[in-house]
Structure 1
Amino acid sequence: MLTIPATPRLYPLTDRAVISLTGEDSVKYLQGQVTCDVAALAAGDACAGGHCDAKGKLWAPFWLANLGEQLLLVYQHSLKARQLAELKKFAVFAKTEVSDAGEHWQVFGLAGEGLSHWLNSHVGDGNLWQGGIIMPLAAEHALLVLPVGAELPELPQGSEQEWQGLMIQAGLPDMSAEHQGEYIPQMLNLQAIGGISFTKGCYLGQETVARAKYRGANKKAMFVLEGKAGGPIAVNQDLELQLGDNWRRAGTVLSHWQQGEDCLLTAVLNKDLEADAVLRLKEQPASRLRLRPLPYDLVD
């Protein structure tokens, strides 16, 4: 099964999109659009967040960075078409420019034992570096966003698929276009990783997100599953839960990692699922999946 590298590695990521916001109203505008507290981020700060429709359903979970004169959102590339259009929709009423900045930035993963020590040695205080930014994600995991053409860290490189597996192990949410408009932010555990502010005031979809917290309206969460699968796994494949001798539909695959028969995946499932629950991929009846403990507490 996948383990974190013994030394830091650099993971070139081709499936990440980058949106840029510039202009004097950028912070104020984005504050009214997304779940996280944009105004609380100083230059060099970063956090998780989500962008929802008016009903509180996610268009995209993302990582947000404040570069001082510019805000950057990093997220899964397949979400870009809808996400960018929705983010631009009301920007015409503010002094901000929202643009697809993918051709100007390159995105990398950083992970491995000793990464924090390596960052202290090579970056020092603060996260702004080489004209870009390092965005801490979890213990010994980070995103590195650099201008195209910038000098890269001298680290061994890992594969994009390995990075995906490390993100799953860390319980960090990812989502593809197949699931846009399907889940509220708490179903992807954004509140557990600091991606939702319940004190910042109004934003798009805020009423639904607040109701899920204060009225207990949310009965689902994102879980990590590990096990064996003989065939390839794909996003949006159906998952089934074993109930005695029967199997019942339980959810669909959000993200996945696979090496041989070993696999890791995330899925949105009922929060009352038993810790010893057994699941399988519907299209692979011989597959078997079990819950992997999340590295954080699930709170509403």
Structure 2
Amino acid sequence: MLTIASTPMLYPLSDRAVLSLSGEERVKYLQGQVTCDVATLEAGDATLGGHCDAKGKLWAHFWLANLGEQLLLLLNRSLVEKQLPELKKFAVFSKVELNDTSDNWQVFGLAGEGLSHWLNAHVGDGNLWQGGIVIPVAAEHALLLLPLDAELPDLPRGEEQEWQGLMIQAGMPDMSAVHQGEYIPQMLNLQALGGISFNKGCYMGQETVARAKYRGANKKAMFVLAGSSEDKIEANQDLELQLGDNWRRTGTVLNAWQQGEHCLLTAVLNKDLEPDTILRLKGQDNSRLTLQPLPYDLVD
């Protein structure tokens, strides 16, 4: 349905925000706020992570990149209004500056067959490049952050919506503001994607995240669905599960890609669903969706 391009392509991304942390205590401060282990990142390293409230529910998930003199958080732009004040809440007590620097950066997706060879030829060892950074996301998929004055790669351009579909296909979460405060990190599979450290020490919401792992308290996960729908699919739209001749609400849409009637989407659902489960979108009775294999193991 959605295939990776036969050559590397550049996908301009307009819906990403970039937050920066600078100052001598930037690593120490962020380490006490987020799920990932900030202290282990060297310059050029990146990781997924989450920022939770005190109850362990996500304000945001993000890609965290270490540029050496500053840390960058790349996230869905709609999350910033509520998330940034929460991330800044205790910064006044630390030697750290935390700002929305989205206007200083260009953000792109990179994907296509041969991308790893292209990166080896143009970026070389390490991921720092032209004052920015390349963030590996999945096989032959990466994110690229460049300053505004940097020279852009001479690659064919792709559509932002197509990149969104590629990320769904890769099993990558992308929550928006309508889902803030709803999900713990494991419900978006962050533990399976290296976005949670269970031995780094305390951070906001850590007790809930740890309880979900060690006591089996979490019964939900993010899944990829594929199928058809004649109407536009929206984030937070209800999904229904087929039970004989009846349908029962079972979860909500996290993110969606559509091309004609074909669609791919991510949704947070109960972990015990059978692989042959049939679902549909509430209010779109002719839609049909089936579970797709995740491209990674769904560990606790």
Same fold (TM over 0.5): yes
* Mapping for residues 145-224 of structure 1, pairs under 5 Å: 145-224=145-224
Question: After superposition, what is the alpha-carbon deviation per residue over 1:133-182, rounded to whole angstroms, capped at 9, x for unaligned?
Answer: 00001111110000012110000010000000000000001000000000
Q: 1:124 — aligned with what?
A: 124
For residue 279 of structure 1, report the CA deviation from its aligned partner. 0.3
3-state SS in 1 of match to 2:17:
strand
3-state SS in 1 of match to 2:102:
coil
For residue 83 of structure 1, report the CA deviation from its aligned partner. 1.0
For residue 107 of structure 1, report the CA deviation from its aligned partner. 0.6
* Mapping for residues 262-273 of structure 1, pairs under 5 Å: 262-273=262-273
Question: After superposition, what is the alpha-carbon deviation per residue over 1:177-210, rounded to whole angstroms, capped at 9, x for unaligned?
Answer: 0000000000000001100000100000000000
3-state SS in 2 of match to 1:155:
coil
Q: 1:40 — aligned with what?
A: 40
Measure the CA separation in 2 of the matches of 1:285 and 1:76.
30
Q: 1:63 — aligned with what?
A: 63
3-state SS in 2 of match to 1:291:
strand
3-state SS in 2 of match to 1:84:
helix
Measure the CA separation in 2 of the matches of 1:149 and 1:241.
50
Q: 1:115 — aligned with what?
A: 115
Q: 1:100 — aligned with what?
A: 100
Q: Which runs of 5+ in 1 are unaligned?
A: none
Measure the CA separation in 2 of the matches of 1:147 and 1:239.
40
3-state SS in 2 of match to 1:193:
coil
Q: Which amino acid aligns with 2:26?
A: S
Q: 1:4 — aligned with what?
A: 4
Measure the CA separation in 1 of the matches of 2:237 and 2:253.
5
Q: 1:85 — aligned with what?
A: 85
Question: After superposition, what is the alpha-carbon deviation per residue over 1:206-232, rounded to whole angstroms, capped at 9, x for unaligned?
Answer: 000000000000000000000000111
Measure the CA separation in 2 of the matches of 1:273 and 1:9.
36
For residue 82 of structure 1, report the CA deviation from its aligned partner. 0.8
Measure the CA separation in 1 of the matches of 2:104 and 2:141.
23
Q: Which amino acid aligns with 2:97?
A: E
For residue 106 of structure 1, report the CA deviation from its aligned partner. 1.1
Q: 1:27 — aligned with what?
A: 27
**What's the RMSD between the two structures over aligned residues?**
0.5
1:289 aligns with 2:285: no
Q: 1:241 — aligned with what?
A: 241
Q: Which amino acid aligns with 1:176?
A: S
Q: Which amino acid aligns with 1:37?
A: D
Q: Which runs of 5+ in 2 are unaligned?
A: none
Measure the CA separation in 2 of the matches of 1:154 and 1:290.
38
Measure the CA separation in 2 of the matches of 1:86 and 1:106.
25
Q: 1:230 — aligned with what?
A: 230
TM-score normalised by structure 2 residue count? 0.99
Q: Which amino acid aligns with 2:182?
A: E
Question: After superposition, what is the alpha-carbon deviation per residue over 1:77-108, rounded to whole angstroms, capped at 9, x for unaligned?
Answer: 10011111111111111000000000111110
Aligned-pair identity in percent equals 79
Measure the CA separation in 2 of the matches of 1:141 and 1:49.
18
Q: Which amino acid aligns with 1:5?
A: A
Q: Which amino acid aligns with 1:45?
A: D
For residue 275 of structure 1, report the CA deviation from its aligned partner. 0.2
Measure the CA separation in 2 of the matches of 1:263 and 1:54.
35
Measure the CA separation in 2 of the matches of 1:239 and 1:26.
41
Measure the CA separation in 2 of the matches of 1:149 and 1:271.
46
Measure the CA separation in 2 of the matches of 1:83 and 1:146.
23
Measure the CA separation in 2 of the matches of 1:83 and 1:5.
34
3-state SS in 2 of match to 1:121:
helix
Number of matched pairs: 300
